[in-house]
Structure 1
């Protein structure tokens, strides 16, 4: 078995997967509230040391473990994937329904056909029924949603909407300019960000969603702003160039293993014969 060939092939596969992640980050540079994804690359040696007592070999023999270790030593693998949840830049808009969160780890709650989800995208609007919703049509939920199952709705006369730093919404009194208190945005602060799962449309799924409690005094809501992506395009382009170069290096290593080394071995065997 040519371990160098398989090691290079595994390395190339890892770089292709890394390239997919980088390309997705670049595609979402201008997506409001998008968070950059990254991968962690490790080798078989480290994985072997972590799981050597549970190797699926007959009788868990030392010889079987040594064979696998020799065969696949230091073969690269993607051992983990993670999301960078740092805050992106703030952009001022002309929409007083827009809201941005200035602290890491905070999320709005929205209602989708698949259930309640989290999002950082605060580009909000009114739907045809006057409900506060995302641009994708998902209802933005109030802080008492799990008790009341209600939504945030505006009347046609609500032309002056204000949202304070804690997400409390105020609208003008009917026929006047005085502000009256309405519902409050549900600002969630999940305990474990690593449990957030991206599910498309810039949304996150979180286990135990109905156990989330609204953060009453977040002080993090900026009305009239949206949070931009935290992807650094220059860094991503640099990583893309680096990844492409690594793919080329692995390809050369595979070519050398299969052609040059095999040709030399065949010629030596032929001479001895």
Structure 2
């Protein structure tokens, strides 16, 4: 009977430890959301518990990304572009691959390439880097970006608008997105709602404290059990 009690207490402690690890991992998701509240284009994450959480512990935790459109804020910068539809801008990384982002704060480099803040080139719908044939000296007056992503440049040589390229938008799988609505001169702030994150944290903290107290009780019981076993030998 004493051995069975030892095994029971040990299993209970393991369950409490795994539960605390899981709750800490869930808390980290919410605190990351809070920390990224002011990051343009950031999409909030939600912790998702899969089956057998009591056995797998934190390994049962997955994350779901919210595709809800964030708050659109007027910036006045002609190369700031906000996506008012689901999807992602595409950036060419150093390895020849493509990174996805909803942060549309772009600029033109000295070679005429449209780039993200991190220096990566923005890709067109054709999969090629967007490049201006000439560097505009007045972005506000000479660069127009249509809702469908077409970039137009005012050519001072003939007074016409020329089409530079159409900015590509992809879905989560990297395929071309369907309907697109871009807002020139706007920045998409994160879609994190702080009040929702704080409300989600409160019950997790209570559950973590409850499991911590349960662990302490079980640990005390196990210590006494071991002492009693030692005295009987």
TM-score band w.r.t. shorter chain? 0.7 to 0.9
TM-score by length of 2: 0.82
Is residue 230 from structure 1 mapped to residue 191 from structure 2 by the alignment?
A: yes
Verify: 1:118 aligned to 2:78, yes or no: no
Residue 4 of structure 2 is matched in structure 1 by none
From 187, 200, 203, the counterpart of 1:239: 200
Q: 2:222 aligns with which of 254, 262, 271?
A: 262
1:156 to 135, 143, 152: 135
Match in the other structure for 1:140: 122
- Structure 2 equivalent of residue 183 of structure 1: 165
Q: Report deviation, 1:162.
A: 0.5
Structure 1 pair 262/10, CA: closer, same or farther in 2 (3 Å)?
same
Change (3 A) 1:4 1:24: same
Which runs of 5 or more residues in structure 1 are unaligned? 48-71, 194-205
What SS does the aligned partner of 1:29 have?
coil
What is the CA–CA distance in structure 2 between the aligned matches of 1:77 and 1:150, rounded to whole Å? Answer: 39
Moved over 6 A (4+): 72-76, 266-273
Match of 1:39 among 37, 44, 47: 47
Deviations 1:93-144 (A, max 9, x none): 121111111112x111111113212211111111232211101111111112
Counterparts in 2 of 1:25 and 1:73: CA distance versus 1, 3 Å: closer
Question: How many residues were matched structurally?
Answer: 221
Cα displacement (A) at 1:36: 0.9
Aligned-partner SS, 2:60? strand
Counterparts of 1:171 and 1:122, CA distance in 2: 18
Does the 8 Å CA contact 2:107/2:114 hold for their aligned counterparts?
A: yes
Mapped partners of 1:272, 1:134: distance in 2: 72
| TM-score, normalised via structure 1 length | 0.71
Find the aligned partners of 2:111 and 2:100 in 1 and give their Cα distance. 22
CA RMSD of aligned residues (A): 2.8
Shift of 1:75: 6.5
SS in 1 for 2:92: strand
- Consecutive unaligned residues of structure 2, counting only runs of 5 or more, are 1-6
